[in-house]
Structures are given as C-alpha cells and as structure tokens.
Amino acid sequence: MLNMIFAWVLVIQIFFFSFCFFFPPIHGSLQSTDTKHDKGLHLMSRISLPPSPAPEAVSPSYNPTTIFNVRSYGAIGDGVTDDTQAFKLAWDTACQTEDSEVLVPKGHTFMIQSTIFTGPCKPGVKMQIDGTLMPPDGPDSWPRNNSKRQWLVFYRINEISMQGTGVIDGRGEKWWNLPCKPRKGFTGTTQPGPCDSPVAIRFFMSSNLSVIGLKVKNSPQFHFRFDNCQNVYIESLNIKAPALSPNTDGIHIENTNNVKLYNSVISNGDDCVSIGAGCYNVEIRNITCGPSHGISIGSLGIRNSRACVSNITVKDSIIKHSDNGVRIKTWQGGSGSVSRVTFQNIHMDTVRNPILLDQYYCLTKKCPNQTSAVHISDILYSKIKGTYDVRSPPMHFACSDSMPCTNLTLSEVELLPAQGKFVSNPICWSAYGTVQTLTIPPVFCLLGGTPEMLPQNGNERC
C-alpha cells in the first residue's frame, strides 16, 4: 500500500514539473539560476507575445542631382593647362541627364577657350562654379580659329541654373586698349576700335534661367549678355571692373523678356545694366551701381533700326560716383517706342547726370540730323534723391523735334549739388509731362499737355 502511494506522489510531481516547463506563465516575473533554462523561457515568452505592428513602408531614396565633376573628365585646374575639352565632355554628359550638375570644384583654376555649351538638355541642368574660370590671356593668346566676340556661350537651353561661390575672371586688361567704341588716336583724331573683344558669358535663345551668387570680374567686354531669352532670374551677383575699362557693361539684355534682377553689386567702366531693343517686363531692384555709367535703356534705333521696349521697373537702388544715373538713350533716325517705364526710390551719390533722357545719342558728336525717332512715353521718375556732380545739370530731357517725349511724370525728385550751393537748372527740349510735387531743383521747362501733332504712320507703335 505504501509503495502505491509513493508511486502516485511521484507521478503527480512529474506531471506538475512537465506542465510548468512546457506552459510557463505569461504574466509576472520568473527567477532562475539556470542560464540555459532561462533562455528557453524567454524564447517561449517571445513566441507568446502578440506581434509588433508592421513597419511603415520606406520611401525610395531621392538624389536631387547627379554630379559631374570636371576633374573626373580630365580637367587639371592648374590655370595653365587647356581644360576646354574636359568641360565640354562633362557638359555633354550632364546635358543628357535630368537634374544634373556640372561641378567646377573649389581650390582649382581652370583655363577654358571660347566654348559653346549647346542644348537642348534634359531639364534641371546646373553649373556649380566653386572654383575659378578664366580665358586665354589677351588677344595674342586667343586661338585664331575661335570667336573673339564671346567666351562662354549657353545656347538653346531650357531650365538651367548657374551659381556658386567661385570667381569668373575675364582677364580683360589686354583687351581694353582695343575697345569697340571709337577712341582718340595719337594724332588727336577719332579712330574706330575693333569690335571683337569677347563677352564673358552669353545666354542665347534660352529660357527659364537663373544666375545666382557669382563673382565676375574684368571682362574684355560685357560681363553678361542675354539675347533672345525669356524668364530670367538674376540675384546676388558681384560684378567688378575698373572705372576706365571700356564697354564692360555688367549685364546687358536684348530681345529678352520677363527678367528679374535683384540684390547685386556692380562697378565697371560702362552701364551697370543696359536694356536693349525687344525687352519687356523687366524688374530691377536693390542694385548698388557704381562707379559706372548708370542704368540705361538703350542705345536704341542705331542705323535706322526699329526698337520696342516696355514695362521696365528700376527701384530701391543706389547709383554712386557715376557718369549717369537712370538714362534712356536713342539714336536719331530710329523707330519704335519706349513706354511704361518706372524709375523709383533711387539714391544718387555724386552722379554727373542723375536723370538723362537723350534722343540725340551719338558717339562721335557728328551724327547727321534725321527726322524719325523712337517715341518715348509714359515715363515715371519718383523718389529720386541725392547729390549730383555740378559739371552737368541734374535733369536733362532732350527729345526729338519730330517725335517729342510724352507723358513724363516727376514726383518727389530732390537733387542737390555734391559741392557748392549753386543749383543748376534742368534742361528740357520737346518734352511733355507733369510735375506732381515740388522738385529740387524746380522743373519749369516741361511742356504741358500733349503735342499738337504726332506722326501717325505707325512706326512708333510696337
């Protein structure tokens, strides 16, 4: 009997032990000194726990740009070696890739010959210029088979940006003795200069452009030129050349529309900004200009050509130590019109001709008189204040006899001599308009109303 009881107790103990081993408690803590047994318990516990939430789907990684470093294509960047072919190869490859970047790395100086970077390209190509770019050194080093009218050209490209922290050095010093403008010869006579000094950077027949943050200096001729372009955004440029460097316009636009130019500093030997024929919807704001020849519309109508310019705004800017401030200049004999132009909130600091409208523009001062002219109308000069160089009157409106200027408006114009107390009187000729507020100096020479007769041949219409 005793043996039977002992057997049943042993069976119960074995059953209880097996139950605890195979069905451990889910809740509460379990202490054990057996490491292997403890691992087994934790394994069973993990299996018994409810599953964790499924992980969120991971979005595919997106690389915004594919970078093409010019040094990876053979560019040396020592300032001596010709790196033109490496740049062209990098460009041609990037051009066929959407959202691509041609990288000009910092710490290197790249010498490039006259080159055309041609499109069309896939959208989103970018020139990231963090190093230094420069052309051959002067006319004698320029290859004979290369164009001497332009250095870097971007042609037929839609959606391109050019930006960076680097420098574009035009090395123009040896070209400046060969200006395109007529100049005085050794005998005192006027001699024509050759018109083959290169523009540093030209955008031609392109659209949706942005140029941001670059430093450009010492171009042989214009620093930037935009021809037949649309939707152009320019910001935070620093353009610099000596005050006596000829034809070194900072930014020239022609046959180009929808342009925004903001927050830039320009000093050079010609116009900070020049607006040629065929331009409309141009906004220029927060420009520090000078020494220079100011901000100009024109010259227009040369060689009896037709010119149309409209919807131009220049505002919130400073022009200092310059030959001109805001200027409109046309040749005799032209046709077309300049209309709807606003010059507003501009500070002049020792500017020789702060406000200049000249329809008798002529480089040699021996141009023949002609009867036709570009018609100028609807021009607003508002909040133009500061000082002028006493060598010239502060306001000069010289309009065509046959095509007078109409609807000129002056408001809050205050211009005082930079030296002395004598205030020069403004000059007006065939200029019609109104003075909305008292001006300094007073403007009494504008003609009221409209001319009795304006030519009705339609040549002035655009």
The tens digit of pLDDT for each residue in 187-205 reads: 455 556 556 899 999 999 9
Q: Would you say the CATH fold of 271-462 matches that of 74-181+193-234? A: yes
Which residues have a catalytic role annotated?
293
- In DSSP terms, 199 is beta-bridged to 150
Pairing state between β 183-184 and 190-191: antiparallel
Answering whether pTM is above 0.85, one says no
Domain at 271-462: CATH architecture: 3 Solenoid (2.160)
| CA 225/CA 335 separation, integer angstroms | 24
* Domain layout of the chain by residue ranges: 74-181+193-234, 271-462
Look at residue 350 and give its three-state secondary structure: strand
- Which H helix or E strand runs over 42? helix 35-48
Q: Which of 235, 213, 240, 251 is nearest to 129 (CA)?
A: 213
Helices (H), ranges, 73-177: 84-95
Residue 53 DSSP one-character state:
P
**What pLDDT, in 10s, does the model give residues 134-175?**
999 999 898 887 778 899 999 999 999 999 999 999 999 999
Query: Using omega within 30 degrees of 0 as the cis cutoff, is the peptide bond preceding 393 cis?
Result: no
Tell me what the pLDDT averaged over the chain comes to: 86
For 209-241, what is each residue's pLDDT tens digit?
Answer: 999 999 999 999 999 999 999 999 999 999 999
CATH architecture designation of domain 74-181+193-234:
3 Solenoid (2.160)
The pLDDT, as a whole number, for residue 182 is 57
| pLDDT recorded at residue 453 | 72
